[in-house]
Amino acid sequence: MTDTAIETNGLVKVFGDNRAVDGLDLTVPAGAVFGVLGPNGAGKTTAVRMLATLLRPDGGTARVFGHDVMAEADTVRSLVGLTGQYASLDEDMTGRENLILIGRLLGFRHQAARTRAEELLEAFGLTPAGDRLVKNYSGGMRRRLDISATLMNTPRLLFLDEPTTGLDPRSRNQVWDIIRAVVSYGTTVLLTTQYLDEADQLAGRIAVIDHGKLIAEGTPGELKSSVGAGTVNVRLRDAAQRAEAEKILAGVLAAPVIPGPDPVRVTVRVPGHGTERGAAEDAAKALSALAASGIVIDDFSLGQPSLDEVFLALTDHPATPQEDAA
Ligand SMILES: Nc1ncnc2c1ncn2[C@@H]1O[C@H](COP(=O)(O)OP(=O)(O)OP(=O)(O)O)[C@@H](O)[C@H]1O
Ligand SMILES: [Mg+2]
């Protein structure tokens, strides 16, 4: 079916005795961002390289828009873009020259390559830097140029392998805007990331992989619900009422208080937030119990579990990216 961008069945890649990808079953719907989350060494890049036909699978099958990555590698290659694949940017050329050259290599006539280069420079906020040598670009500008190079010929499927790792928050946001724009033009994006907030912000669906296997898949909301725990947060008018408020909340919600430094804030972890109904019931119970005891509150909120908590629950290790020696 054409509305499936990627389908893998039992995909395997072995390096020596290391099963880097170990029987991966993945279905990626077309037309959105699909996030692949996993810690260092989970097998994300290896999986992407197989899907982009750069690495030969040792077992299982993988199809891209219905085309087998091994039997129909040329067709697959014509449908996908991988950041870094074509984008062997020449440091001693300007950003504009690089894009025009890549366009020429892809078979564009000079004027068409030029026009496309201008569009991309504009779209990626690189017009003012278009005449600068790439070796003088900042990390964020470089990353944006990398992505724009892969977009010279609009691929149906774009692989972005950790496109924002190491970027400052502003550059990250710019890359996020680009990804949203790419999807709005109809390209499916497979995004690998170690940043859960990134997947949360961008991805319609997320696959969590660890040790080469799929361990969870769903919308960000579904993944959060699967962990269940959320929080009830209360800000008290009077810090002197804190001990009593903690006692009441812990009792009525039958849940532990999470210690925190703020003397007027009480946070209780509750299991009931897998569903909206559970959250609403917790909220009602908490508010009426506090009101009945004469405890005045200034603010009240319900917190969903973060994807970080989801990740920890699923993998037994946190998703904190380690600093790469760059
Ligand atoms: N060319 C290779 N030769 C041997 N082992 C490899 C090779 N490429 C990857 N590996 C190993 O395969 C496993 C998966 O690596 P991979 O790069 O796919 O992980 P990743 O999820 O992309 O990690 P990261 O978040 O650090 O990029 C790791 O144990 C890695 O050491
Ligand atoms: Mg990787």
Q: Rounding to the nearest 10 degrees, give the CA dihedral for residues 87, 50, 53, 323.
A: 10
Q: Please state which of the ranges 12-21, 34-43, 277-286 shows the lowest mean pLDDT.
A: 277-286
CB 300 within 8 A of CB 233: yes
Average pLDDT, integer, range 7-23: 97
CB 231 within 8 A of CB 286: no
Write down the pLDDT at residue 271: 67
Q: What is the pTM of this model?
A: 0.76
> Residue 159 and residue 210: Cα distance in Å, rounded?
19
Q: Please state which of the ranges 26-30, 53-57, 280-284, 319-323 shows the lowest mean pLDDT.
A: 319-323
pLDDT digits (tens, 9 = 90+) for 158-206: 999 988 887 788 888 888 888 898 898 899 999 998 887 888 889 999 9
Whether residue 302 is predicted with pLDDT greater than 90 in this model: the reply is no
pLDDT digits (tens, 9 = 90+) for 252-281: 988 888 888 889 999 887 765 556 667 778
Write down the pLDDT at residue 320: 54
CA of 12 to the centre of ligand 2 (A): 16
> Residue 228 and residue 278: Cα distance in Å, rounded?
10
Whether residue 140 is predicted with pLDDT greater than 80 in this model: the reply is yes
Write down the pLDDT at residue 35: 96
Write down the pLDDT at residue 134: 95
- For 86, which DSSP code? S
> Residue 269 and residue 67: Cα distance in Å, rounded?
47
Closest ligand to residue 209's CA: 1
CB 229 within 8 A of CB 273: yes
Mean pLDDT of the chain, nearest integer: 87
Whether residue 68 is predicted with pLDDT greater than 90 in this model: the reply is yes
Minimum-distance ligand 1 atom for the alpha carbon of 321: 25
Residue 319 — very low, low, confident or very high, per pLDDT cuts 50/70/90? low
Q: Which of 36, 46, 58 to mutate to test the pocket of ligand 1 (most atoms within 8 A of CB)?
A: 46
DSSP string, 205-260: EEEEEETTEEEEEE-HHHHHHHH--EEEEEEES-GGGHHHHHHHHHHHHT-PEEP-
For β-strands 188-193 and 18-29, DSSP reports them as unpaired
Whether residue 289 is predicted with pLDDT greater than 80 in this model: the reply is yes
Whether residue 85 is predicted with pLDDT greater than 50 in this model: the reply is no
Minimum-distance ligand 1 atom for the alpha carbon of 209: 21
Residue 51 is encoded by which pair of tokens?
């899907």
Residue 74 — very low, low, confident or very high, per pLDDT cuts 50/70/90? very high
Average pLDDT, integer, range 291-306: 87
Residue 87 is encoded by which pair of tokens?
């984008």
Show the domains of the chain with their CATH numbers.
Answer: 4-224 (3.40.50.300), 229-304 (3.30.70.120)
Number of H helices, E strands in the chain: 11, 14
- For 320, which DSSP code? P
CB 227 within 8 A of CB 310: yes
Residue of 38, 35, 34, 75 whose CA lies nearest to 53:
75
CA of 41 to the centre of ligand 2 (A): 7
Closest ligand to residue 14's CA: 1
- For 298, which DSSP code? E
Average pLDDT, integer, range 208-225: 88
Write down the pLDDT at residue 326: 36
Closest ligand to residue 193's CA: 1
Residue of 128, 168, 170, 162 whose CA lies nearest to 146:
162
**What percent of the chain stands above pLDDT 70?**
90
Nearest CA, atom 31, ligand 1: 41
Whether residue 86 is predicted with pLDDT greater than 50 in this model: the reply is no
CB 116 within 8 A of CB 99: yes
Write down the pLDDT at residue 230: 74
Beta-bridge partner residues of 28: 6
